[in-house]
Structure 1
Amino acid sequence: MRQQLIGFLLTLAFAIQGAAADSELAYPPPLVPAVQEAKAAYLAAGLLSRYHYKAVPLDDALSSKVFDQYLKALDPEKVYFLQSDIDRLAVERSRLDDAILTEDLRAPFEIFNLYERRAIERMAYARSLLDKGFSFDSDETLMMDRKDQSWPSTKADALDLWRKRVKNDWLRLKLAGQEDAAIAKILDKRYDSNSRRLSKITNADAFEAFMNAYTMAIEPHTNYLGPRAAANFDIAMRLSLAGIGAVLVDIDGYTTIRELVAGGPASLSGQLQVGDRIVGVAQGPTSTMEDVVGQRLDDTVALIRGAVGSTVRLDVLPADKGPDAPSKTVILVRDTIKVQDTAAKAKVYSVATGEGKRLIGVITLPSFYEDFDALRNGDKDYRSAGGDVGKLLAQLKAQKVDAVLMDLRNNGGGSLREAINLTGLFVGKVPVVQTRDVKGDVIVGRNVHTEVAWSGPMGVLINRASASASEIFAAAIQDYGRGLIIGEPSFGKGTVQTVANLDQVARNANAAYGELKMTIAQFFRVDGGTTQLRGVTPDIGYLQSGNESLFGESSYDNALPATHVKAADYAPVGDIKAQLPRLLAWHEGRVQHDRDYQNLLDDITKARERRKGNVISLNEAVRRKERAVMQARIANMLSAEEVAEGGGLSDDGLQFNERKLSKNLAIEKTQKSVNDVVLNEAVSILSDSAALNEGKSQTAASALSTRPVVVTALSTAPSKP
């Protein structure tokens, strides 16, 4: 009864204030929790309290942390809530544990509803400013990062903050050459679209936001996945799905085809092309066509996906036709689609040296994927990161490369088993990693499946976004002295997660409760050290972004501490330390004369200065000078043809869905053509290492200024999806 009274009073207080403040605004209906969501929260709490590596009781102390994490997730830049909102919500600080344990989630949902109301109010105010326009001759500034600031103390403070945000949006478009009338139209549509997106938020979205506030208040890498998010996670791990083979985006409320997957039903039909808009979806040959214009993209995608062999009918508005043109019906039979964009790929680079050319194979691995279902079903050819990399190594050997570089930049991890298997391709059947569970038991993870596929010179390229399984692999290569670690220190995530299916826990036949990705162990290097908080330190580090306090494990205030265990029984298989002085000297001599490298180094320095200053000028003259410098920098990066095709890389002030799809695709193509300074230097370093292995210590293998050139591209893409 007490919880019901609290919920009623909270709802009434919010409703009264909202009506008094903005009576003319149209708010969406308040979101309310579903029965299955309250049950899912209760089930998750039981697992987290008993089986998490850092098991924390769900009590008032944890409730307070959940409260803070929830507000941080909803309003990280503190631009929506007022301080008076936070003060009034504080009554729930110690009661969110009760909300979960009593399966009454009205209080966290009311917090979400207030956030949604405030966001809609801010969008309405932003639109109201557009008729007046702005003057840009004052020395006014806008704070770039507000996460450490207080919430606005009054509504007037909040509106002034939003005035500056809108002014900055306007100035960006003005600097890009837009006229005032066009700017007002673009921004009005943008803020209106934001409000419309807010109105499409569902109770499932609100519940997932609250649950992740709960899980991440315990530890950063524990997450709740609703049924749809769990399905997408499964697709990402197995790199396959049942569908039509089309990449879709939302542009102006239309589900638009961004890309057709080669060999998929959509491509093979010959009836669809990039830019076509899907306006209706129907299941089977006779069911009613459902209008999907203005619908959330993920809802439309869910309608289009389905079982292999089933039929879907699409009502399609051709790319070259206006919104009032007649549509056409396209009938497709769903098939298994292999996801290739996030699969391992390889390229062979030719490096000019003082004695000719050297070939370096580069394997790019975006994640450590693994098809768990196929593995459980006994499929010997199941899709996996280690399996694909093994195939690529065979192709590279056939190309007679001199060395292999594993590019793990931005690889956030994945399957622990695949990290072990991948290490075995370079080191053999040896201990790779150690894991310590909640009981304190330490288990050595040994590769027992894969044989050495590459015994020549190798290296690993990492950056701050290389995490978890990437760090296991890089650390093992380093501990065994097997190859060079190049780049910047990695993320520092030394924890192991498992996925618990809440429906299985509840013995529920239907997918209703979602899944819990929960930290159950901590991993350690074979030498007994840890990557937790510390990450993997490169043997040759360069172009470090300096954002360690903003991104990485050390940026979390509740990350697990860094500890150590006894070293495993292992023996190094090589020693690259003797090479490092010569490699560093060649590296430093080379980059001093590399214009692109020095420009990027300058960009990093300026970015650090901007972060430190934390403000951006709203003065037009100041911003024009800054823009001119950037334009000159971009002109040096691109050829005239690339600038003409992609429109350059300068800020046009537009968001993705505000440009024509063809423009976005051209920009992306231009971005991909930009010289990858970090990778090119890593290739050159590895070429130098291969030279030293050959006993050619007097010749810098890549001392010439010529950058490495791609001569061959390889992949494991199947001939049929």
Structure 2
Amino acid sequence: MIKRIIIIMVFAISLSLDSAGFQSKEILLDLKPDERQSITSKVVVKMITQSNYKKISLNDSISALIFANYLKSLDGTHIYFLDSDLKEFDKFKTRLDDDLTLGELSDPFAIFNTYMKRYRERWEYALSLLNHNIDLGKKETYQYDRKDLPYFKNMQEANLLWTKRVKFDLLNLKLANADLTVNKEILKKRYQNFIDQSKKMTNQDVFQLFMNAFTISVDPHTNYFTPAKSADNAIRMSRSLEGIGATLASENEYITIKSITPGGPAYKTKRFHADDRIVAVAQGKDGDFQDILGWRLQDAIQLIRGARGSLVRFKILSKDKKISDRPEVIEVVREKIILEEASAKKEVKSYYSNGKNYKIGFINIPSFYMDVADYQSGNPNYKSTTRDVKLILDSLKLMKVDGIVVDLRNNGGGSLQEAISLTGLFIKNGPVVQVRDSRQKIRVDDDLDSTINYNGPLAVLIDRFSASASEIFAGAIQDYGRGIILGNQSYGKGTVQTQIDIAKAIMNGNDNPDLASGMGQLNLTIGKFYRINGSSTQHKGVMPDIALPSLIPSSRYGEDTEPAALPWDTIEGTKYTPVGSLIDLLPSLRSMHTQRAEEDKSAYTYFEDFDAELNRAEHTKTLTINEQRLKQDRDISEQKTVDRNNLLRKAMGLPLVKKGDSNASTDDLDFSKREAGQILTDYIFLKGVEK
């Protein structure tokens, strides 16, 4: 994932400016840590070093890792700091561990204040260039991603690069509007917004950044949250309830979509995806778009929020698009996110295969949810995944489906108990998962209900974003031989976390009211999941019996991409009795799947082409500053997208579309789901032949 692109250029010989001598008007910032943060730092260090599943001692090696992660979070593309800054920071490299332990936070704050000084220098300078004539006719190249290059040697080198950014921004706007004066005003507002937003930074922001650098150096799922972030995390983003239903993050100065809340307004459009970048937001049908590039996350959220039933429009750059490509405009009607809409859903599809008609039921499970408050209050009608799926199974049996596919794609997990009880709907009883705690004690969690709610043909569809509880369910179904696992290698999140309110944890009889609030929350890793066969789901996840193509690059996502992730390992398997075996059928199922792929390669060509285009976009670090070339590249990119999508439409039996067609956005292009149902019909056919 690209980490912080903020870019903007400066100085050209054609500009009548003394770039080397430019000085920002207002660049001083002197944020300082407070006493509460000092105490929090010491407490978090103590909790992690004493109670985290992954045993660590803070030392110079960990300090160097924290230092690298902190710098990466501030200036990951090397467009702000000077080499002289890094030389000055070198003294901090091996003492951040001591700073954390002692609660002495002046070092990380000093680094941040220098970063903010450079940040404002760059944007003030970029803003000043717009008051002069700019030569856009000269052919140049602009390297916007410098993460593999050294930091700037001096201010002159920084100015040369930033000049090119200003030119690029102007040309990019010119492709849509030739009025240079208007485009300069747009950029002035954008650049000024970067400066204005930086002035809103608080010591809480700095503390969160530094603690993130610390915890990610330990493991990817041990996290600290400031009080504000803790409130957001508690509802997995009020943001998911504040307008469109999406988890957002600020990356590379873009407000980026990290996940879509199932059942929410964004989800219903079927046009938003993880890693899409929001370029601008407009209110209503006719409101002007407001550029939000560089905005603080919370400020962008305030703009995206609105009354239920109101319309908001977005300009979106999808993850496979370069920053020079034309954004897509998407309309969303805001609404309150109703949790029922994130519940399990059913769908029935008809297939004609091997000379027979089949009805396949699909159950999409977006998460493993449970209304704990209702359950604890004794409400017999409490909401849960298992209860909902049980009702769906009864409905599908009445519809006389021939088989069922449980779709766990994009299901990041949830309640462990629900993963266990859901497994119990498909097996008689027995162990489902093993958990080893930080004391190395192993607990086996069983399904104790001997009722089988569905014993027919079963497949489970997973992808790279199926994690945690999803992996427990899929792993158990695979170990019992109860169904076919289809899709892609799952995420590999096999660790257990507990949420600790730091203030409550340290009070412990101490009535100091100053510690009663404002300390934040620690998500601490306390255990590790293991399948009943003894294999950990950590790092490796669950491997499918038959792999299906995917748009998710496994090299970019998954636990095995996290440097500090716990490793895969095994323990002794627990005693269980498989209910079936796929060993004899899998070769034939794979052969039939491969034969379909050979007969119509268009869908697989689509996935291969998308992957190639994504790789090209990721490895493109230099752009041409030339209007004709930029326009040509944009037109080529848009036509490539149409041609690529038509490959998938052909494979799905849908009519082809032309560039500019808008009536195709609601068509079902879920190839993996369709092929999963097809594989299950093959299984049913082969089982029939076997009989």
Into which bin does the TM-score normalised by the smaller protein fall? 0.7 to 0.9
- The answer as to 2:629 corresponding to 1:635 is no
In structure 2, relative to structure 1, the CA distance for the partners of 1:180 and 1:453 (3 Å cut) is: farther
Contact 1:420 1:473 in 2 (8 A): yes
CA distance in structure 1 between the partners assigned to 2:171 and 2:302 by the alignment: 39
In structure 2, relative to structure 1, the CA distance for the partners of 1:465 and 1:177 (3 Å cut) is: farther
Look up the equivalent residue of 1:233 and give its one-letter code: N
Aligned-pair CA distance for 1:52: 0.4
Aligned match of 2:578 in 559, 568, 572? 572
> Bigger shift: 348-357 or 579-588?
348-357
Aligned-pair CA distance for 1:478: 1.5
Contact 2:308 2:336 in 1 (8 A): no
Aligned-pair CA distance for 1:48: 0.6
1:335-414 paired onto structure 2 within 5 Å = 338-340=338-340, 342-353=342-353, 355=355, 357-414=357-414
In structure 2, relative to structure 1, the CA distance for the partners of 1:500 and 1:172 (3 Å cut) is: same
Gaps of 5+ in 2: 1-19, 249-260, 266-281, 288-293, 313-334, 508-512
Aligned to 1:604: 611
- Report % sequence identity: 35
Aligned-pair CA distance for 1:696: 8.6
Query: What is the number of equivalent residue pairs in this alignment?
Result: 601
Aligned match of 2:682 in 685, 688, 694? 688
1:696-707 paired onto structure 2 within 5 Å = none
CA distance in structure 2 between the partners assigned to 1:437 and 1:214 by the alignment: 23
* Secondary structure of residue in 2 paired with 1:108: helix
In structure 2, relative to structure 1, the CA distance for the partners of 1:56 and 1:361 (3 Å cut) is: same
CA distance in structure 2 between the partners assigned to 1:39 and 1:97 by the alignment: 15
CA distance in structure 2 between the partners assigned to 1:481 and 1:248 by the alignment: 36
Contact 1:480 1:572 in 2 (8 A): yes
1:629-653 CA-partner distances (Å, limit 9, x unpaired)? 4433443537999989x966xxxxx
Look up the equivalent residue of 1:555 and give its one-letter code: T
Aligned to 2:563: 557
Aligned-pair CA distance for 1:175: 5.1
Aligned-pair CA distance for 1:229: 2.7
* Secondary structure of residue in 2 paired with 1:635: helix
* Secondary structure of residue in 1 paired with 2:206: helix
Aligned to 2:541: 535
CA distance in structure 1 between the partners assigned to 2:604 and 2:589 by the alignment: 17
Q: CA RMSD in A?
A: 4.4
Aligned to 2:33: 33
TM-score by length of 1: 0.72
CA distance in structure 1 between the partners assigned to 2:244 and 2:465 by the alignment: 28
In structure 2, relative to structure 1, the CA distance for the partners of 1:421 and 1:249 (3 Å cut) is: closer
1:348-388 CA-partner distances (Å, limit 9, x unpaired)? 22334354542222233333333444444444433333333
Aligned to 2:284: 275
In structure 2, relative to structure 1, the CA distance for the partners of 1:261 and 1:43 (3 Å cut) is: same
Aligned-pair CA distance for 1:51: 0.4
Contact 1:347 1:361 in 2 (8 A): yes
In structure 2, relative to structure 1, the CA distance for the partners of 1:528 and 1:118 (3 Å cut) is: same
1:87-486 paired onto structure 2 within 5 Å = 87-130=87-130, 132-133=133-134, 135=136, 138=139, 140=141, 142=143, 144=145, 146-170=146-170, 172-174=172-174, 180-236=180-236, 275=284, 298=298, 338-340=338-340, 342-353=342-353, 355=355, 357-448=357-448, 451-486=451-486
Aligned-pair CA distance for 1:442: 1.7
Look up the equivalent residue of 1:680 and give its one-letter code: R
Aligned to 2:322: none
Look up the equivalent residue of 2:612 and give its one-letter code: T
Aligned-pair CA distance for 1:403: 2.2
Look up the equivalent residue of 2:431 and give its one-letter code: P
Aligned to 2:328: none
Aligned to 1:80: 80
In structure 2, relative to structure 1, the CA distance for the partners of 1:576 and 1:36 (3 Å cut) is: same
Aligned-pair CA distance for 1:222: 0.8
Aligned-pair CA distance for 1:71: 1.4
Aligned-pair CA distance for 1:88: 1.0
Contact 2:239 2:245 in 1 (8 A): no
CA distance in structure 2 between the partners assigned to 1:77 and 1:367 by the alignment: 35
In structure 2, relative to structure 1, the CA distance for the partners of 1:503 and 1:450 (3 Å cut) is: farther
1:616-635 CA-partner distances (Å, limit 9, x unpaired)? 55565665555444433443
Aligned to 2:532: 526
1:177-236 CA-partner distances (Å, limit 9, x unpaired)? 766555444443333333333333332222211111111111121101222333333324
1:672-715 CA-partner distances (Å, limit 9, x unpaired)? 54612233322322333233334399xxxxxxxxxxxxxxxxxx
Look up the equivalent residue of 2:679 and give its one-letter code: I
Contact 2:411 2:467 in 1 (8 A): yes
> Bigger shift: 212-221 or 193-202?
193-202
CA distance in structure 2 between the partners assigned to 1:346 and 1:213 by the alignment: 42
Aligned to 2:4: none
Look up the equivalent residue of 1:631 and give its one-letter code: E
Contact 2:492 2:542 in 1 (8 A): yes
* Secondary structure of residue in 2 paired with 1:104: coil
Look up the equivalent residue of 1:557 and give its one-letter code: P
Aligned-pair CA distance for 1:393: 2.9
> Bigger shift: 21-30 or 575-584?
21-30
Look up the equivalent residue of 1:199 and give its one-letter code: K
CA distance in structure 2 between the partners assigned to 1:570 and 1:37 by the alignment: 49
Aligned-pair CA distance for 1:597: 3.7
Aligned to 2:499: 499
Gaps of 5+ in 1: 1-19, 251-257, 263-272, 279-293, 306-313, 321-334, 649-665, 698-721
In structure 2, relative to structure 1, the CA distance for the partners of 1:627 and 1:441 (3 Å cut) is: same
TM-score by length of 2: 0.75
In structure 2, relative to structure 1, the CA distance for the partners of 1:260 and 1:673 (3 Å cut) is: closer
CA distance in structure 1 between the partners assigned to 2:569 and 2:100 by the alignment: 33
Contact 2:472 2:531 in 1 (8 A): yes
CA distance in structure 2 between the partners assigned to 1:412 and 1:80 by the alignment: 35
* Secondary structure of residue in 2 paired with 1:506: helix
Look up the equivalent residue of 1:632 and give its one-letter code: Q
Aligned-pair CA distance for 1:316: 12
Look up the equivalent residue of 2:114 and give its one-letter code: L
CA distance in structure 2 between the partners assigned to 1:315 and 1:435 by the alignment: 44
Aligned to 2:519: 513
Aligned-pair CA distance for 1:444: 1.4
Look up the equivalent residue of 2:231 and give its one-letter code: A
Look up the equivalent residue of 1:689 and give its one-letter code: Y
CA distance in structure 1 between the partners assigned to 2:99 and 2:230 by the alignment: 24
